[in-house]
Structures are given as C-alpha cells and as structure tokens.
Amino acid sequence: MRTQVVIIGAGPAGLLLSQLLDLAGIDSVVLEKRSRAYVESRIRAGVLEDQFQELLRRAGVGARMDRDGEIHDGMNLAFDGRMLRIDLAGLTGGRTVRIWGQTEVTRDLFEAREARGGAVLDCAEDVIPRGFDGEAPYVTFSCGGASQRIDCDFIAGCDGFHGVSRASAPNDRSETSERVYPFGWLGVLSETAPVASELVYAYSPRGFALCSMRSQSLSRYYLQVPAATNPDDWPDDRFWDELRARLPEALADGLETGPSIEKSVAPLRSFAVGAMRHGRLFLAGDAAHIVPPTGAKGLNLAGSDVHYLSEALIQWYFNGDPVALDTYSDRALARVWKSQRFSWWMTRLMHSFPDDPPFNRRLQRAEFEMLEESQAAQIVLAENYVGLPY
C-alpha cells in the first residue's frame, strides 16, 4: 500500500490534519489502535479559541459547533471568595471562546472523513514508523493479525504523549523539558445546570476548583486532589460538599447537584520536546507537548500544530517549497512555549501548592490583586486565553 502521508493517531489532531490535506487533494491514511467508539467517548477539553474554530470551519466541520456551541465573551477568577470577571471580548477587540467538547469535535471529524471516503484504519496494532531519516519512509503495523506496510512521503505522529511516534524520535536530537505537578484534577460530569453562565476558576486554601460546562444541562466540575487519588474514594456527596467549600458563598448556595455520569483523575504536567521534526517524521499535538489544563490550551495547541503542518505539506506538494516544512518545528514550538508559560502561570496562580511557604501564598494573593487593579494585566490574561495568533 502507498499513500502520500501516513498519520498515526485518530484523535482530533490526526483527523483534522487528514481532512485538511484531503480538501487540498493530498492523500493520507490514518492509523488508530482503538475503536472509533472508544476515541469518540474520551472526555477531554471543551474551550475552543476563535482561531481553532475557524480552522474547523475551513475543514468543513464547523456547522454543529456554530449551531450548538456556546460563545463565551468572559470568564471568572475567584480568590478566597472574591470574584473577578475577565471581559474577554471587551479586552481583546471582540474575540471570544466557544464551549464545544472535544468529543463533539472528534465526532464531527470522523463523520467528515467517512463522508469523503477517508482511510481511517482503527485496527492498527504494533505501529512502527520506519525509514523517516531518509527519503523513503514507511510504516509497518498489524491489522486483524495480518502484517501490513504503507509506503509514504511523510509520517505525521499525532498519537499522544504515550504513543509510538514520540518514542520513535531520536532522543539525542530532541532535548525534552518536563515538570510534573504534585496534584491532579478530579473531574465529574453531571447532568445538571452549570453553577454560572461562564467558567469559574477558583482558588481556596483547600485547593483549586473549576466550574465548567458542556451545555446548559451538562456540567463539568474539577477539584485539585493529590496526584495518586483514586476516584472511587470520592463518592458524589463528598465531591459536591468539597466543591461547595471551595467556591464563593454566592455560587456554592446555587450549586445544583446530581449523580455523576463520569468521574476520573487527570494528572498535571508540563512537557515539550526539543524538536517536532525528525527527518520525514513530524510530531503534532500531545505527541510533542503537554500543558496543564488550567489555561485550556491542550486541544488548541494541537490545532495550531495542524495549521502549521497542513500548510507546510500543501506548499511542498503544490509548489515544491520546503521552507515551511523546514521551519515547522521552530514555528510550532514558539507558540507552544508561549502557551506553556500561560498555562504554568494560571496553574501557579490558582492552585494550592503543597509545602508552599507563606511568602509564596502571599505572592499569589498579590498577583490576584494586580489583576483586580490593572486593566493591562487583564488584557494580557485575556489575549492569552482567547489565543495568541498563529
């Protein structure tokens, strides 16, 4: 079998790259180990930057998002019971974010690839990218017990932090950077009305809390917990009681509770590879970088990677121009590190760090007070939250 681009991973990054390439007349095959039902069911991010929304529209998968997704022109920070609204639209010249879950993005992309006859093989086991340090890369894998090989021009690794693509990249060419945080987020999805009309990021000495939503009848809440927490140790009543204790009183009093329909703990880490290109193997999304979810950047960074990579491949195929491919890693990582900075800053501001001395806690309070008092500080936050330019 032969194609122009083999894409490893059928998450949003891989599917979106395949769709954009297809619309430009470039063939690809997407390899995925898990079933479509499994990939679509993963509960992930839900805050989309305006540029990522436009990328989905360019890919022809923005109709449901535009119809059913919720535009948010602001977000809220709560600190020791004090509330501060950040006017995203007012501070950024009208730019906003949209609430539209990653599960919905993935569903739309799968349907679009199916409608266009896109090759998505969700039976791919033992995937190995090979020969990418030369001019004739290929990928071997097994499907239904049969060994297969696909020859190609390029390989795109969109298979996440634990995937084979990053593991296959030469370590001596890529200096990675990582920080693992001593806590995670215990997340609960419930069929309840959101406690607020916009997202609320809350600091309390008991730990961080986030009030988010997927719709007006589906809420997503998070609590900061120790990294080794077992979600089974948190029955629903305990979760709701702790959430109330971390929210400002006015919000806590209006919290609607109900049975959880999903509960899990996500670890927090910051991670970035030193290079996102290795010969004809290109990394994108979580295969290249991880950010704490505090800044809502994970899925959005995958989108910017796909933007840069799809444009570079299109220029190479249609103009024979290798410059965009040669500069892909530097361009993508420049935006990645700005988002790393913002995600780290939001995490440091809003979380209670174990063993922090009183000096550090006082600095957190001073940082929040600076935001309360300075429109310039709010503008910097708002510009980063709605998304830095591609």
The pLDDT tens digits for 222-254 are 999 999 999 999 999 999 999 999 999 999 999
**pTM across the whole model:** 0.95
297 is catalytic: yes
Per-residue pLDDT, 34 = 87
Look at the chain and report how many structural domains it folds into.
Answer: 2
What CATH number does the domain containing 170 carry? 3.50.50.60
Residues 112 and 154 in one domain: yes
**What is the extent of the structural domain holding 200?**
181-268+352-386
Residues 31 and 120 in one domain: yes
CA 184 to CA 90: how far, in whole Å?
32
Residues 330 and 192 in one domain: no
Per-residue pLDDT, 173 = 52
Q: Which of residues 315 and 123 earns the better pLDDT score?
A: 315
193, 216 Cβ separation under 8 angstroms: yes
Residues 264 and 274 in one domain: no
User: What is the signed CA dihedral for 176, 352, 187, 167, rounded to 10 degrees?
Assistant: 10
Q: How many CB atoms lie within 10 A of CB 363?
A: 14
Token pair 């997202």 is found at: 199
Within-domain flag for 138: yes
| Predicted confidence (pLDDT) at residue 44 exceeds the cutoff of 80 | no
What CATH number does the domain containing 215 carry? 3.30.9.10
Per DSSP, what are the bridge partners of residue 178?
Answer: 271
Spot the catalytic one: 12, 33, 72, 308. 72
Residues 261 and 305 in one domain: no
328 is catalytic: no
Residues 145 and 278 in one domain: yes
187, 38 Cβ separation under 8 angstroms: no
293 is catalytic: yes
Q: DSSP state, 276?
A: S
Within-domain flag for 237: yes
Residues 157 and 25 in one domain: yes
Rounded average pLDDT over 207-214: 95
Within-domain flag for 322: yes
Residues 168 and 292 in one domain: yes
Within-domain flag for 136: yes
72 is catalytic: yes
| Predicted confidence (pLDDT) at residue 40 exceeds the cutoff of 90 | no
Per-residue pLDDT, 326 = 97
Residues 152 and 192 in one domain: no
The pLDDT tens digits for 344-359 are 999 999 999 998 999 9
Within-domain flag for 87: no
Residues 198 and 55 in one domain: no
Within-domain flag for 90: no
201 is catalytic: yes
Spot the catalytic one: 181, 201, 221, 222. 201
Cα 17 from chain centre: 15
7, 158 Cβ separation under 8 angstroms: yes
Phi, psi of 235 (to 5 degrees): -60, 160
Helix (H/G/I), strand (E/B), else coil: 22: helix
Rounded average pLDDT over 30-52: 86
State the number of CA atoms in the 13 A half-sphere of 9 facing the CB: 27
Question: β-pairing, 119-121 with 154-157?
Answer: unpaired
Q: How many CB atoms lie within 10 A of CB 250?
A: 12
Rounded average pLDDT over 136-155: 96
Question: In terms of Cα–Cα distance, which of 257, 218, 223, 231 is closest to 104?
Answer: 218
The pLDDT tens digits for 285-314 are 999 999 999 999 999 999 999 999 999 999
Residues 231 and 366 in one domain: yes
Spot the catalytic one: 129, 137, 292, 293. 293
Rounded average pLDDT over 350-377: 96
Spot the catalytic one: 33, 278, 289, 297. 297
CA 62 to CA 64: how far, in whole Å?
6
Residues 120 and 187 in one domain: no
Per-residue pLDDT, 39 = 84
311, 16 Cβ separation under 8 angstroms: no
